Structure formats: C-alpha cells, structure tokens
Structure 1
Amino acid sequence: MTALTTITVTLPQIAKMIDYSLLHPNLTDEEIRDGLEVAKRFNVATACMKPYSIPLGKKVLAGSDVLISAVVGFPYGINTTKIKVLEAEQAVEDGAREVDMMVNIGKVRSGDFDYVGKEIRAVNEAVVKRGAALNVVLDNDFLSDRDVSRICLICSAARVAFVKTVFFLQPGRSYERQGKMLSRLRLMKATVTDGIRIKVAGGIRSLDELFIAMLTGVSRVGAASTAAILEEATARGIGSIPVKIALPPPADE
C-alpha cells in the first residue's frame, strides 16, 4: 500500500494560492461584483477578470490586499502582438497588477517560436516597465509536451513571473484521471528555470485537487470554485493555525 503524503497548511496560506476566476463570458456586472466580494472576504491572491471589469475590481477591492489580474488576448491568443501590448499597457494603467497573456496557439502549433518569443518578450517588457507581472498562459487542449517545453524555455529566458497552464475540461473528460494534468505540471516544473513560478487553472474544483497541485510545485491556482474550496477547508478544520493534512497519492501513481 502506498503511504499517504502529508502537508501542513493554514487557511490564509490556501487563500493566497488562489486566483479567483471571474472570466465566464456571460457574467453580469452584479455577478462580477458578488465574486469580487467573495475574493475580498477570503483574502485570495488575485481576482482574475476581463479588462473592462478592472474599474469595478478596483472599487470593490479597495482597502484589501487582493490584487487584480487581467487577461490579454483571451482566450486563444489570436490578437496581433501590437494589440496585446496595448491591451497589457491599458490593463496595468487601469489597475491590474498581473497580466495573463494567452500565447498564440496557431503560431505555437506552426512551430514559429521566433514569433512566439518576440511576442512574449514585448508584452513582458511593457508589463514590467509599468510595475506589474506577466503570466504567460498555455492552453493544454491544443499543445503538445514539446510545445509546452519550448514555451517554458522561452519564458525562462524572458524572466516572466509565471507560466500558467489551463485545462478547459470537456464533458466526460477528466485530465486528472488520465494523469495529463499532473504530467504536464511536472514537465513545466522540470523545464522552467529557478524563479519562474507555475500556475494552473481549470480542473481545480476541490481542496484535494489544490493540494495535489501544490505538491507538484504549483505556486498559484486559478479557480472559479474558490468559495467552495475555502469553505471545504474550513469544514475540515483548517484555520489560522497550521494543521497537518494526509493526502492519498495522485491518481496517476
């Protein structure tokens, strides 16, 4: 029998691992406001939102240390580099402290890594110059291990803040059961250089899934199920005092 893995955590530590995702295209202003209040109540790391919502985010999150992250080129990275740079600059000027830029999926799959690298460097320069951090986002539904490795190397050379992988799960599919999420995260962790952190979004819907991501070396998770995850933590007796949690081995082991 495989031994259980233990992890010692607090509720504030878990909360600061979470980017609360407010990106669903049909969210109303009132629903976004409600989500921001949840982010503020739990004191998560960031509220991740569409660029037009940044002013609302600044208003609701005022007085807290919850940062705003905004998406650029979302969701498939198809905008030109010039537009991505302008989007990123505007987002930071409006109040975003982190920028999530989607790589151009078509260019990656075409093997045009010169284009991809120039774009990442251009957006990173624009963001860092304005005092914010860049997250380079990879869509795992479309990219191979080789693609991900190449992008991680490019991001490492550019010294971006985070490389972020997203899993848009389709009905009837579970990347965790298949081991794809874990293997991809391990590949990223093994490829990026020291100081480049890893995020994962999509597919993290429970506290144990967050813990597994943490054990894999992930620094931050994006989750629309933030309230459910943190309420589950509270129900399991996790609070401000560190507690030890026993976890089963990951599904692919």
Structure 2
Amino acid sequence: MMINKYIDHTLLKPAATQEEISKLCNEAIKYKFYAVCVNGSYVKFAKEKLKDSNVKIAAVIGFPLGAMTTEAKVFGAKNCIEHGADEIDMVINIGYLKGKEYAYVEKEIFEIKQAIGEKILKVIFENAALSKDEIKLVSKLSENAGADYIKTSTGFGDGGATFEDVKLMRESVGDHVKIKAAGGIRDVDTAKKYIEMGVERLGTSSGVLLVTTGLSDKNSY
C-alpha cells in the first residue's frame, strides 16, 4: 500500500519560515503527497510554489485553540480560499462543546461550510480533550452541518489520533463523511492500519520519513 496519496504534508509551527514552507512544498511535489497543510499567512506563497503540480493546499482556521469568534473563523476561511486554498481544516469551539452549547458548535461548522461552498471542509475535534460521548456527538454535529471530513486532533494538544477514537468516529457518521487522522502517526504500519480502518487522509509533519524509512521523528506532529 502506497501511503503518500493519503498524506497532508504539514507544517504549522508558529516559527515556520518561508524557506521551510518552500521546502515543504518541494517535498510534497517530490513524494506526490495529496496536500500541504499550512497556516493562512502562507497560503498565497504555497499556491505559487505548487502552481505547476497536483498538490492541494489545506489551510487551518481557528488553529489550534478554536476559541475565536465564528465571524473571525468565517472570514479566515474565505480569505484562505481567495488566496488559493483548496481545503479548510477548522478547529471546533471545544469549550462550547464541553459547555453543551451544541447548537452553536453545529451552526459554526455550517456557516464555515456555507462560506467556502464546494471546497473541502475538515472539522478538527481535539479528541484528547473530549469524552467518548462528546466525540460521538460532535461527529454527528459535523455531519449535520455538512462537513466533508472529521479530524481527530490538531497535533498541538495533549494527544493525537488513536485507533479507538477513529473507530468511534467512523461508527458515528455515514460513509459520505470522511476521516482524517492526525497527530502521533509514528510509523508506516500505524499509517496503513488507519487507512485499512477507513481513514482517507493522514495529517503528519513526518511524511517524508514515513515514505522513505517507515518511521517518523518522535518529536514531530
């Protein structure tokens, strides 16, 4: 199984430089990764670097905390699309979910999806901060709101993807909602197991190591 086409090659560190984003894009072209995943300020730059390739651009919104206003998230999503992003990875308002403000959480996802139209929306949960019931619930809220993908984690929280959580997410939504596993994917066997479970995208900053050596840097996303 070739895992490169499942990988969103990711660099979201706040200190990432233009030179590092350029390297990320060149690696994505070389290894034929599905997409690069970057912060909004680098979308326009990545678009230029990738203009002659098939590599997509995913931009993160409300990252990594998810706690800014819906209006700010909507503006950020539209702005990134205007600058060339193909996909938006948004963080839910975790505190509002835990505070049982379910209508707010669903409406926010809906408004961002409406703002970006046919572009892909991935909804990031931060599963390590949630109970199993909350994971099931927010999976359904995301589906109801029109999300294209549900995603396990930012990679900046206390934990990343787990097999148990991915199974729970898969069981909570219809087949039309896809799953992205992100955070803590340390070796190619783990990556392949996620794919066998039905995961259609893998978020990792160690894509090159995974496809060349089969192992990632233990300190990476």
- Same fold by TM (over 0.5)? yes
Structure 1: 5+ residue runs without aligned partners? 1-8, 234-253
Q: Is the 8 A contact 1:38 1:227 kept in 2?
A: yes
What is residue 123 of structure 2 aligned with on the other side? 136
What is residue 248 of structure 1 aligned with on the other side? none
What is residue 29 of structure 1 aligned with on the other side? 18
Structure 2: 5+ residue runs without aligned partners? 215-221
Deviations 1:61-89 (A, max 9, x none): 11111000000000010110111110000
Deviations 1:142-197 (A, max 9, x none): 11111111111111122211001116488xx987xxxx811100000000112100
C-alpha deviation, 1:118, in angstroms: 0.7
What is residue 80 of structure 1 aligned with on the other side? 69
Bigger relative CO (Cα 8 Å, ≥ 6 apart) = 1
What is residue 195 of structure 2 aligned with on the other side? 214
The SS at the match of 1:65 is: coil
Superposition RMSD in Å: 1.7
Deviations 1:87-124 (A, max 9, x none): 00001010001000100011011111011011010001
The SS at the match of 2:198 is: coil
Q: Distance in 2 between matches of 1:124 and 1:169?
A: 24
Residues 1:155 and 2:142 are matched in the alignment: yes
> Which has the larger displacement, 23-32 or 102-111?
23-32
C-alpha deviation, 1:140, in angstroms: 1.7
% identity of equivalent residues: 32
The match for 1:38 among 16, 20, 27 is: 27
Q: Is the 8 A contact 2:11 2:38 kept in 1?
A: yes
The match for 1:120 among 104, 109, 128 is: 109
The match for 2:36 among 47, 53, 65 is: 47
Q: Distance in 1 between matches of 2:104 and 2:203?
A: 27
Q: Is the 8 A contact 1:19 1:47 kept in 2?
A: yes
Runs of 4+ in 1 over 2 A off after TM superposition: 167-170
C-alpha deviation, 1:205, in angstroms: 2.3
Larger Rg: 1
Q: Distance in 2 between matches of 1:160 and 1:211?
A: 24
Q: Is the 8 A contact 1:43 1:64 kept in 2?
A: no
Deviations 1:11-63 (A, max 9, x none): 3xx21100001111121111111111101111111100000001110111111
The match for 2:55 among 66, 80, 94 is: 66
Q: Distance in 1 between matches of 2:32 and 2:154?
A: 25
Deviations 1:186-232 (A, max 9, x none): 00000011210000110112111101111221111001001001113
Q: Distance in 2 between matches of 1:17 and 1:69?
A: 13
Q: Distance in 1 between matches of 2:107 and 2:20?
A: 37
